[in-house]
Structure 1
Amino acid sequence: AAVIDGVGVVVEVNAETDFVGKNEKFVDFVKGVAATVAKEAPASLDALMECTYAGSELTVTQQQQEMVLVIGENIKVRRFARYAEGVSVPYVHAGGKIGVLVNLETDLDAEKVQEAGKDIAMQIAALNPRFWDKAQVTQEILDEEKKVMLAQMENDPKMAGKPAQVREKIVMGKLNKFYAENCLLQQDFVKDGDMTVEKYLASAAKSLGGTIAFKDAVRFEKGEGIEKKQENFADEIASLVKG
């Protein structure tokens, strides 16, 4: 995650081992991919792979193949996000395991909102909220949560005997708690549990003499959603050499 020429970028590039993840050549390649995303504004991953890699005459695909040959491990650009508007604040957690990019709308200088943005990014990295704001939670999601809660009560000897209207009231109370647990802006602010994230942003804006509004964020956790499988990358490298 980084801000390059005013553009916020977060990318995930996968290698096979943590050792390679710390390799200087690999790190430089990732920075180059981020710079390419910032400059070219590709619409998709396929489009990015066809872009000219920053500071090179090769495409990103060709540069990636070069890196595979140099490092001797499979390397793959997996995904990216880019914000050209607003003020973006990057945060990298646990040596690159999690990358967060927060996008804010503000009338203040970018430098002034860095601390607030980083605080929000750290909260996202640590708690990984399902939603940014309670407005994103649909009735369908709430109905599903309610269904699960009622089923749990049916299986709880202490709750099963209670009248239906009592259980309904308990569920409604739990649904209010659902927002506080799952929605970033309604969560307790980790640095000060007496206020929500929303109130923290309002407080930070007031003390700085301006406005700060949370617009969006991206959280990439390395390898999430990837099924780990063993492949013979020696064959793949051999085929690249032949090519």
Structure 2
Amino acid sequence: VEVNAETDFVGKNEKFVDFVKGVAATVAAANPADLDALMECKYNGADLTVLQQQQEMVLVIGENIKVRRFARFEGGVCVPYVHAGGKIGVLVNLETDLPAEKVEEAGKDVAMQIAALNPRFWDKAQVTQEVLDEEKKIMMAQMENDPKMASKPEQVREKIVLGKLNKFYTENCLLQQEFVKDGDLTVEKYLASAAKALGGTITFKDAVRFEKGEGIEKKQENFAEEIASMVKG
């Protein structure tokens, strides 16, 4: 879950942290369809709704607090990871025949990779032809503007682009990325290796990455225009 407060100071407040944990527990137990449904759910262990509990927290802490978004996976093993004091949160969902506690380390390693590198896709199979065509177009344009490359035959340039597209996968797709803790492995191979060592199977199913304030449009004040309007007034 992402719950926003106005200051980092409140973000470390014990009451605020407990409230966030309660919201997460409510999501896990109630499985609400969306944010509006969540706000009408009974807050975990209380008679109040999540919305009412949020309002109570605003009064207690004296600062605006807002539940912004949440994600929930059904089935599999979910491994959470919070990075940089709550600035980034990742939830990884794994499919496995092993006990949950045995795959937590592997799940956390993958979550840390997602937090640090923020891949555009989980797997190269998710990359659409439209995305590839756009990347190819950009690469071809770059070569045409490079005197050394522009003179090469088109067939040669096509092969170079193909090689660069393979690199695109390794840079932008989680499972094909170089595993940050061991550059000799991709993330996919790391999971296979961890599963083999544990005597079972581990398959990456899905993940969600929340970065604090992501997608919130920040109001840009143009002070020159503001002063000019005051002078005219």
Tell me which residue corresponds to 2:225.
none
Richer in strand (by share)? 1
* Equivalent in 79, 84, 88 of residue 94 of structure 1: 84
**Cα deviation digits, residues 191-239 of structure 1 (max 9, x gap):** 1111111111111111111111111111111111111249xxxxxxxxx
Are residues 1:79 and 2:69 paired? yes
Tell me which residue corresponds to 2:182.
192
Are residues 1:171 and 2:152 paired? no
Q: Which amino acid aligns with 2:141?
A: A
Q: Which amino acid aligns with 2:170?
A: A
Report the Cα distance in structure 2 between the residues aligned to 1:130 and 1:28, rounded to whole angstroms: 32
Q: Which amino acid aligns with 1:52?
A: K
| 1:113-152 matches, cutoff 5 A | 113-152=103-142
Please state whether the residue corresponding to 2:72 is helix, strand or coil: strand
Cα offset, 1:12, TM superposition: 0.3
Q: Which amino acid aligns with 2:108?
A: K
Report the Cα distance in structure 2 between the residues aligned to 1:69 and 1:165, rounded to whole angstroms: 68
| 1:59-74 matches, cutoff 5 A | 59-74=49-64
Please state whether the residue corresponding to 2:213 is helix, strand or coil: coil
Cα offset, 1:53, TM superposition: 1.0
Please state whether the residue corresponding to 2:70 is helix, strand or coil: strand
* Equivalent in 94, 105, 108 of residue 104 of structure 1: 94
Are residues 1:222 and 2:208 paired? no
Q: Which amino acid aligns with 1:26?
A: F
Tell me which residue corresponds to 2:43.
53
* Equivalent in 173, 193, 204 of residue 203 of structure 1: 193
* Equivalent in 31, 35, 39 of residue 41 of structure 1: 31
Report the Cα distance in structure 2 between the residues aligned to 1:229 and 1:74, rounded to whole angstroms: 18
| 1:221-240 matches, cutoff 5 A | 221-229=211-219
Aligned length: 220
* Equivalent in 201, 213, 217 of residue 203 of structure 2: 213
**Cα deviation digits, residues 80-127 of structure 1 (max 9, x gap):** 011231111111111111111111111111111111111111111111
Q: Which amino acid aligns with 1:179?
A: Y
Identity in percent: 88
Q: Which amino acid aligns with 1:197?
A: V
Q: Segments of 4+ in structure 1 off by > 6 A?
A: none
Q: Which amino acid aligns with 1:48?
A: L
Please state whether the residue corresponding to 2:152 is helix, strand or coil: coil
Please state whether the residue corresponding to 1:194 is helix, strand or coil: coil
Report the Cα distance in structure 1 between the residues aligned to 2:108 and 2:44, rounded to whole angstroms: 27
Most deviating of 154-163 and 60-69: 154-163
Please state whether the residue corresponding to 2:206 is helix, strand or coil: strand
**Cα deviation digits, residues 113-165 of structure 1 (max 9, x gap):** 11111111111111111111111111111001111111122222332222222
